[in-house]
Structure 1
């Protein structure tokens, strides 16, 4: 048999196209192996980049062969043009999706790497909270921008969408105004996210009071903030709220805080023994940071005096526990050592009551007799 009878005709366009596809896939496999070996060596030398390489590996495995296939379509025959154009368009869309996926995964890996090397479960975590807040908010915003750009590039590959865009530009003034009004909440939250990342009125794990609710900033996304309330509820607050409304941030510069315990006692209670007891309670409490331990009379009325025990702690959680311990300890001390000076309503017994007149009713005489 003549070899030319069974060997493919290399001059045929479809044969050249098939060979181009095979060569592209083989080259893509070789490039994948080379890149993977290089990235493994890089990860061994730079452990911090290992997570980013692991996350970017999956989209990279799609980007390389899709790129080579797109190059192979240059050798495709001119006929049938519709079929070849549809296949090339599909490969191009897949490449755009893979590149968008790759960029999002890289940003997510960077966010995770920064969070891992800047933990916030430490006593002095101000710098870690600042870094995590900046990276998290900016990464979420960047992800949204990349996804929107990827969708825009993918849509622009369709001729009908390009024609629609051209006709839309003819009435750009009215259309831009309508789109701007419709997208105002989304764009406002994106801009607010950038402002929060740069100025940082709040950070991850900050203790805040929002809408009269005490809680911690648990998560900051590109559009809203999750505040973990003390009773395990979650408050979802738009980012714009923290730019446009006042709120309390108890850990803006540091986590140290003063706490007070308010108590009412009788005027006759000696204060020096009570101050000594407060000092003993603070020194015995692990929540006290050793800065402030003061007992003062802050208010009075016609029945008792109000005392304020002012104590300090390293964070708001410990401050709450310390205030409860101080309040309980001082009440127990006064009840045990000075029980007569607990606040109570007192009355004097009348030993002799003169009748205003002789016509006092019998019931009144019985009540007067009972009080004697």
Structure 2
């Protein structure tokens, strides 16, 4: 079998040039990627993001251009061009996803939440994490759609589905309701921000912090190191408590039931002394109030303030312990007690004269039952 070198030269030269240019581009991108790995500058970060996808995309692009310039026709060329097209779409999708992820990391890096006043940083991090995941999901979905549309069989299926769009749309809507519900809830949370990362919340009666906001669920870190996984849509459809919605400052209360003889002025002075000595107190609120009374005691509320919920809980425990110790040492009579009064010679009914009749019985008394005589206790049977 002889080879027509004139014909081979017509398509071998473009493909050879394309392959050579692709190899050069791949080597250049690989060199740039390795060189950028040891640097921390902004340009180095950008290079690390784009070089690896471009190292695969540029050779495919040159081969795609070369395949269009060849006079070769037939099924092998169509398969080659389709393969190159799918590879290019995959590389571009990969590049866009890496770019979104790099942008997310840059924003998170410039807005740390491990500082005292992190309200603005938590707001930015929440929006960035949710929106970046939604955007990456949309990019991947778009890339898969473009790849599938390159196959004629898939395009034919698409036309068939469009012909019955009503039924398909109804079935897809019912099947994908949880997915789209969580997607829309994620966008609502990113824009309106009822919760943010590191927010202190009460969910289903559990106290915890928002540890992670994903594309379909939220992870709440409970105070005892448990993790509660809650769907995103739950935070849109159900009420919950957010203790750090505007600020982390919080008021804490300690209730004591005390005796009516409690010296409230000294209790109030002792609370102020405890707050001033406690580093957990933020200096805003320190109030002693009688909030309720009962037949036996009074309810005293000790209201204090702290910088965050953790400090508020510890401060409440500290105030409660020291106040009880103070009352036990200085004013033990102030502790609640149960009072009872026993009076000797209590008033009794006057004694009735004794009836002389021995056979007097109570009305309805039967034979064999002792008679009940007024003024006398009933005889023992």
SS at match of 1:235: strand
Equivalent in 52, 56, 64 of residue 58 of structure 2: 64
Describe the superposition over 1:51-73 as per-residue Cα deviations: whole angstroms up to 9, x where unpaired: 45424432222222222222222
- The 3 A distance-change label for structure 1 pair 101 and 82 is same
Moved more, 48-57 or 287-296: 48-57
Q: 1:74 is matched with which residue: 68, 72, 76? A: 68
Query: Quick check: 1:76–1:84 contact (8 Å CA) kept in 2?
Result: no
Give how far 1:75 is off: 4.1
Give 1:185 shift. 1.7
Structure number with higher helix proportion: 1
In structure 2, what is the equivalent of residue 345 of structure 1? 338
Structure 1 counterpart of 2:219: 226
Q: Distance in 2 between matches of 1:22 and 1:358?
A: 131
Q: Does 1:100 align with 2:93?
A: yes
Structure-2 residue corresponding to 1:212? 205
Deviation at 1:49, TM superposition (A): 5.8
The range that moved more, 339-348 or 49-58, is 49-58
Aligned Cα RMSD in Å? 3.0
Aligned to 2:6: 11
Label 1:166 to 1:279 Cα distance change in 2 as closer, same or farther (>3 A).
same
Q: Distance in 1 between matches of 2:202 and 2:158?
A: 46
Which residue in 2 is equivalent to 1:276?
269
1:259–1:320 Cα contact (<8 Å) kept: yes
SS at match of 1:296: strand
Of 202, 208, 213, which aligns to 2:195?
Answer: 202
- Distance in 2 of aligned mates of 1:22 and 1:100: 27
The whole-number CA distance in structure 2 between the counterparts of 1:253 and 1:211 is 21
User: Cα 1:53–1:273, aligned 2, differ >3 Å: closer, same or farther?
Assistant: farther
Size of the alignment, in residue pairs? 353
8 Å Cα contact 1:17-1:75 kept in structure 2 = yes
- CA distance in 2 between counterparts of 1:313 and 1:65 reads 61
Instruction: Tell me which structure has the larger Cα radius of gyration.
Output: 2
Calculate the TM-score normalised by the size of structure 1: 0.85
CA distance in 1, matches of 2:311, 2:121: 20
Equivalent residue for 2:131, pick from 134, 138, 144? 138
Q: TM-score, normalised by structure 2?
A: 0.83
Q: Residues 358 and 343 (structure 1 numbering): CA distance in 2 closer, same or farther, change over 3 Å?
A: farther
Residue 127 of structure 1: which of 120, 124, 127 is its match? Answer: 120
Cα distance in 1 between the residues matched to 2:305 and 2:137: 43
Whether contact under 8 Å (1:17, 1:77) holds in the other structure is yes
Query: Where do 5+ consecutive residues of structure 1 fail to align?
Result: 1-7, 362-372
Which of 293, 300, 310 is the matching residue for 2:303?
310
Distance between the aligned counterparts of 1:253 and 1:34, measured in 2?
51
1:1-372 equivalence runs, <5 A: 11-13=6-8, 15-31=9-25, 47-48=41-42, 50-76=44-70, 78=72, 81-348=74-341
Asked if structure 2 preserves the Cα contact closer than 8 Å seen for 1:51 and 1:113, the reply is: no
Q: Hey, what's the Cα distance between the residues in 2 that align with 1:314 and 1:360?
A: 73
Instruction: Please report how far the alpha carbon of residue 310 of structure 1 lies from its aligned counterpart in structure 2 after TM superposition.
Output: 0.8
Q: Describe the shift of the 1:85–1:277 C-alpha distance in structure 2 as closer, same or farther (beyond 3 A).
A: same
Residue 34 of structure 1 and its aligned partner are, at CA, apart by: 6.1
SS in 1 for 2:338: coil
Q: Deviations over 1:164-206 (max 9, x none)?
A: 0011111112222221222222112112211211111111111
Q: Structure 1 residues 298, 49: closer, same or farther in 2, change over 3 A?
A: farther
Q: 307-316 or 341-350: which moved more?
A: 341-350
Deviation by residue 1:251-281 (Cα, 9 ceiling, x = unmatched): 1111111111111111111111111211121
Change (3 A) 1:278 1:52: farther
SS in 1 for 2:6: coil
Contact 1:43 1:49 in 2 (8 A): no
C-alpha separation in 1, matches of 2:96 and 2:219: 26
